[in-house]
Amino acid sequence: MKRLYYPLILLLAAHTLMAQEVSQEAMQKIRKEGLENSKVADIAFRLTDASGPRLTNSPGYQRAAEWSVDQLKKWGLQNARLEEWGEFGKGWQVEKSYIAMTKPYYMPFIAIPKAWTGGTSGPITGEVVVVDINQEEDLKKYEGKLRDKIILIKGEANTAPTFKADAVRYTSEDLDKMADSEAFGSRNFTPEMLERYRAMRTFRNRVDSFLLAQKVKMEIVARQGKHGTFFTSNGASFRGDAPEPGPSFEMAPEHAYLMARLAENGIPVTVEADIKTTFYNKLTSSNVIAEIPGTDPKLKDEVVMLGAHLDSWHGATGATDNAAGSTVMMEVIRILQTTGLKPKRTIRIALWSGEEQGLYGSRNYVKNTFGDPQTMKLKPAHEKLSAYYNIDNGTGRIRGVYLQGNEAVRPIFEKWLAPFADIIDHPTVTLRNTGGTDHVSFDALGLPGFQFIQDGIEYGSRTHHTNVDTYERLVMDDLKQMATIVAAFVYNTAQMDQKLPRKPLPKAPDSVGR
Amino acid sequence: MKRLYYPLILLLAAHTLMAQEVSQEAMQKIRKEGLENSKVADIAFRLTDASGPRLTNSPGYQRAAEWSVDQLKKWGLQNARLEEWGEFGKGWQVEKSYIAMTKPYYMPFIAIPKAWTGGTSGPITGEVVVVDINQEEDLKKYEGKLRDKIILIKGEANTAPTFKADAVRYTSEDLDKMADSEAFGSRNFTPEMLERYRAMRTFRNRVDSFLLAQKVKMEIVARQGKHGTFFTSNGASFRGDAPEPGPSFEMAPEHAYLMARLAENGIPVTVEADIKTTFYNKLTSSNVIAEIPGTDPKLKDEVVMLGAHLDSWHGATGATDNAAGSTVMMEVIRILQTTGLKPKRTIRIALWSGEEQGLYGSRNYVKNTFGDPQTMKLKPAHEKLSAYYNIDNGTGRIRGVYLQGNEAVRPIFEKWLAPFADIIDHPTVTLRNTGGTDHVSFDALGLPGFQFIQDGIEYGSRTHHTNVDTYERLVMDDLKQMATIVAAFVYNTAQMDQKLPRKPLPKAPDSVGR
């Protein structure tokens, strides 16, 4: 139905573009290199195990970013560099993390300090007080009563047995539904959801300030998860001028609830703990940028971009979120370099920082390079970008692509997927959006930014922002497949006679309603 | 088919027994108390959270056993006591457990000391050496080279994504298959399996002695599991005369493999660790025993037993293995006492110790009370036991019962299950055995010992001998159902005109082949 109403001009443009054949020889080279000589396991090892957690502006992020620049240089890329994009806030890392119950008996606990919180200044011990704060009025009853206490905030984790598999792949029916849907914004928030989210954030900040003012000795918060897995939170403020919060553990719900049940049954609970964290005051942050220069005199000033965020949360080594995407994009570059294919347009890789806190790296890169989405004042480079491809949905193989509402690219992407039908089960192109990550920064300025449909695997159940998002969570065969297909998309985009068709430019938010 | 060949005398006996109706009034009382006034959540809290890990002869076991005796007394049971059954070996518990990687970056690890191993005498630090020992010859290459090293033994954990649900219930098809099968010994080991297991144990003991002789500083062993869950091992020797092994951590595979990959890629890994464990030299061990005296002058000397093992492994609070079974059996007693039903025969509950190391508590109880299965010399009490009912397959609700090869009880059990058809989906009676736990100790002496068919839930995937077998893993509705049905079975057994039919007495192993 949507097609009927789509501007005729774009349909005609799409039809013209459809006529352009892709080089099957190039596709064969990419396929061979990507599937038979893959280096995804090595790249992923460097970005996860060897770098560690990659919280933005932490030493771990820096290690990963520097290794990436170095590796890109070794592969012969041009202009490989760390590019500062502006001020992010403080770096932070954990240097000691220990908590165990010592009474009524000894038990070590699974927990990690909340991001951007402080330390205990050496080992501490104390009785645990369960605190039940769910609304503003609850604060009053604790006013003046929590000084020097170790408090436990329960939250509401669902620890019931899971009768559904942790790991899932899309069925053909799932994909057909996704393709048929009239809904564009499947992963976007409704105004009501945003309102609830903002209210929750405001209340959480209120609670944080309250507890800071109460001078509690340490805070323990039960998080969602089960079986030793838990999901870390968005942490405390990383702003340069934010006060340093007291020590705070995020904990597997089983261990937090054990303490809560004991205390609520009148059995005193004592813990011992030791947290050391370090803050870093270099507030500016950098993305990794590098290029394969274009070779066609008329087209080499035009650019095809590919990227993924390199930063992670701090509870593990951020394997599926998002070493997976960064690994794939690095491997795409390696495939393109190794096959010796000479792209007509310039190909530029970007590995972003600050994605987890609000797409900072990509948003600022777009603003610095292409224009300001707030005013829609565009820079000359805006005209030169054909497309940006992003990966940030975990380790699952590609099953198709989201058009992000850009119907005109449908026939092009369908053609590009076709040679890989043997390694894509039920290839699917959907008009839908996918949101929440860095292609949105491009889309907001009317630049074609795309993500792929990926099998979920364990992303929602076990890996996304958890303490167990480690190298083990990566499915190497899926990463190989992804790199092969993305390499084809990037190369084909670089070789087209024209840039990819664009959606109409969005209106500047600043101009709306004036 | 089996029925055709079954001794006619037993079939006739069964037929006679079939005629005996159960008291529907009693069944109603049991159902009401078990389903509407359940105390399983409270009992389970006491046995898990409040007691802690219940390794045999540890303070945690003692807490749980003493609470149970006390509670049974409060419910008015007779002869409630801790009954020593002989020498088990040393008690042991963890009093400090900390390990983290400190180079190339800091990361706290999920790990627990191996049972019955020693401490570090305060914090230690050192580089990790990956050791690859899979066969006798491998030992030579490390001879003299591991002194004062922290060694890492990799093992082979499967950390791939799980496309099957962690939690499962039997389908009707599963149960029909189980009921139809001709195989008696579904869960018993073949001689080849036993041989392989013994060879593996022998080699492990060999490796343990080797490492002890090499004077390694600490050992780290990767265990099976994933996502923060790991399965602990059977531990070191608990014998009174066993030498105290050096410190040894069992670790989530993700963390062990992170270190292994780093080291194998030439990146030095340093850890810091602190283990304190305490051994207890009171070597004898006790079961919990208590009775509801029979009220029929002619039958009160006869006994119906119910039991479960109270001991657990040390990595968590042993909720599904086997606080679940102990909770259900305690609740059965509470139901029978609260309803005021006066059993004709004496009902005796037993909560066993030492099950995890080889059914020690129940085997010795049987030997001390009923006779020696090695010689088949029987004591007078052997004639007086009608049946023993056991629960030790996790938190899953009852779907039927294993006849343990005793066809003659089929019509009786079928009749007893019938009034509960509304709370048992597809009730099933199978001739099969289930093994590996305490009813086997009775069966070995020709005493009718039974277990129930229980839904698996997460027993195999997440809970059995893991670090996350906590209170959260219990499905309270299932425990309620189990207690209700077991209470009915126990009561009905106590009320029968005759004892339950028995299988022919086994031959004494000592007499075979002489």
Candidates B96, B165, B468; nearest CB to A163: B165
A50 within some domain: yes
CA–CA dist A32, A28 (Å, integer): 6
Q: Are residues B84 and B119 in the same domain?
A: no
Helices (H) and strands (E) in chain B, counts: 14, 18
Q: Are residues B69 and B125 in the same domain?
A: no
B176 within some domain: no
Give the rounded percent of residues in chain B with a pLDDT score beyond 70.
94
CA–CA dist A455, A443 (Å, integer): 23
Q: Are residues A230 and A105 in the same domain?
A: yes
CA–CA dist B514, B506 (Å, integer): 16
Q: Are residues A272 and A295 in the same domain?
A: no
Candidates A169, A228, A317; nearest CB to B110: A228
Average pLDDT of the segment spanning B117-130: 98
Average pLDDT of the segment spanning A10-21: 55
Interface test with A, best of B51, B106, B278, B459 (most A CBs within 10 A): B106
Q: Are residues A10 and A99 in the same domain?
A: no
CATH of the domain at B245: 3.50.30.30
B369 within some domain: yes
Which domain-ending residue is among B224, B251, B277? B277
Task: With a cut of 80, say whether residue B188 has pLDDT above it.
Answer: no
Neighbours of B144 (CB within 10 A): 8
CA–CA dist A156, A257 (Å, integer): 10
Q: Are residues A315 and A379 in the same domain?
A: yes
CATH of the domain at B15: 3.40.630.10
What value does the mean pLDDT of chain A take?
93
Q: Are residues A52 and A82 in the same domain?
A: yes
Candidates B60, B162, B265; nearest CB to A165: B162
Query: What is residue A466's DSSP assignment?
Result: B
Task: With a cut of 60, say whether residue B410 has pLDDT above it.
Answer: yes
Which domain-ending residue is among B223, B253, B277? B277
Q: What is the pLDDT of residue B427?
A: 97
Domain residues for B420?
2-88+283-495
Task: With a cut of 80, say whether residue A514 has pLDDT above it.
Answer: no
B177 within some domain: no
B466 within some domain: yes
Q: What is the pLDDT of residue A351?
A: 98
What's the pLDDT band for B71 if we cut at 50, 70, 90? Answer: very high
CA–CA dist A8, B117 (Å, integer): 76
Q: Are residues B412 and B473 in the same domain?
A: yes
What value does the mean pLDDT of chain B take?
93
**What are the DSSP calls for B104-134, one per residue?**
SS-EE--EEEPTT----SS-EEEEEEEE---
CB A271 within 8 A of CB A102: yes
pTM tops 0.90, yes or no: yes
Helix, strand, coil: what percent of chain A each, to 5? 35, 20, 40
CB contact under 8 A, A100 and B105: no
Per residue in A384-410, pLDDT (tens digit) is: 999 999 999 999 999 999 999 999 999
Q: Are residues B382 and B471 in the same domain?
A: yes
What's the pLDDT band for A113 if we cut at 50, 70, 90? Answer: very high
CA–CA dist B400, B402 (Å, integer): 7
Task: With a cut of 70, say whether residue B94 has pLDDT above it.
Answer: yes
Residues 142-201 of B with CB under 8 A from A: 159-169
Domain count of the fold of chain A: 2
CA–CA dist B137, A93 (Å, integer): 44
Task: With a cut of 80, say whether residue A481 has pLDDT above it.
Answer: yes
Asked if B123 is an interface residue toward chain A (Cβ–Cβ < 8 A), one would say no
Which domain-ending residue is among A258, A279, A300? A279
Q: What is the pLDDT of residue A189?
A: 62
Q: Are residues A237 and A257 in the same domain?
A: yes
A249 within some domain: yes
Q: Are residues B252 and B297 in the same domain?
A: no
A396 within some domain: yes
B449 within some domain: yes
Asked if B66 is an interface residue toward chain A (Cβ–Cβ < 8 A), one would say no
Q: Are residues A401 and A458 in the same domain?
A: yes
- For residues B128, A93, A249, A205, the Cα torsion angle rounded to the nearest 10 degrees is -170
Candidates A63, A107, A227; nearest CB to B52: A107
ipTM: 0.94
Q: What is the pLDDT of residue A193?
A: 83
